[in-house]
Amino acid sequence: MTKMVVTPWEVSGKIDYDRLIKEFGTQKIDNKLLRRIESHAGELHFMLTRRLFFSHRDVDWLLDKYDKGEKFYLYTGRGPSGHTHIGHLVPWIFTKWLQDKFNADLYFQMTDDEKFVFNPELSLEETNKMSYENALDVIALGFDPEKTFIFSDIDYAKTLYREALKVSKKLTFSTAKAVFGFENSSNVGQIFFTSVQSVPAFLPSVKAGKNIPCLIPYAIDQDAHFRVCRDILPKLGFYKPAAIHTRFLPGLKGPESKMSASIKDSVIFTTDSAKDAKKKIMSAFSGGAASLEEHRKKGGDPDVDVACQYLYFMFEEDDEKVKEIFEGYRSGSITSGDVKKMLVDKVTRFLENHQKKRERAKKKLDKFILTD
Contact footprint for ligand TRP (CB under 6 A): 75-79, 109, 111, 114, 197, 216, 218, 222
Provide the 10 A C-beta neighbour count for residue 261.
16
Q: Minimum Å distance from CB 20 to ligand TRP? A: 16
Q: If we measure between CA atoms, which residue out of 137, 108, 92, 103 comes closest to residue 369?
A: 108
285 SS3 class: coil
- Specify whether the CB–CB gap between 86 and 93 falls below 8 A: no
- Given the complex with ligand TRP, which of 231 and 301 has the nearer CB atom? 231
| C-beta closer to ligand TRP: residue 26 or 286 | 26
CB of 348 to ligand TRP, least distance (A): 27
**How far apart, in whole angstroms, are the C-alpha atoms of residue 53 and residue 218?**
9
Nearer to ligand TRP, 102 or 218 (CB): 218
Query: Maximum CA pair distance of the chain?
Result: 67
Residue 72 or 285 with smaller CB distance to ligand TRP? 72
- Give 147's DSSP letter: T
Looking at the Cβ atoms of 118 and 285, the one nearer to ligand TRP is 118
DSSP type of residue 43: S
Least Cβ distance, residue 31 to ligand TRP (angstroms): 26
Smallest distance from the beta carbon of 195 to ligand TRP, in angstroms? 12
Nearer to ligand TRP, 223 or 272 (CB): 223
CB of 6 to ligand TRP, least distance (A): 13
Q: Let me know: does 138 contact 150? Beta carbons within 8 Å.
A: yes
DSSP H helices, the chain, are 17-24, 31-41, 46-49, 59-67, 86-102, 112-118, 124-140, 157-169, 173-180, 188-198, 203-208, 223-232, 274-282, 292-298, 306-310, 319-331, 336-368
- Cβ proximity to ligand TRP: between 197 and 335 the closer is 197
CB of 180 to ligand TRP, least distance (A): 12
C-alpha to C-alpha distance for 323 and 201, rounded to whole angstroms: 39
* Least distance to ligand TRP, CB of residue 79, Å: 3
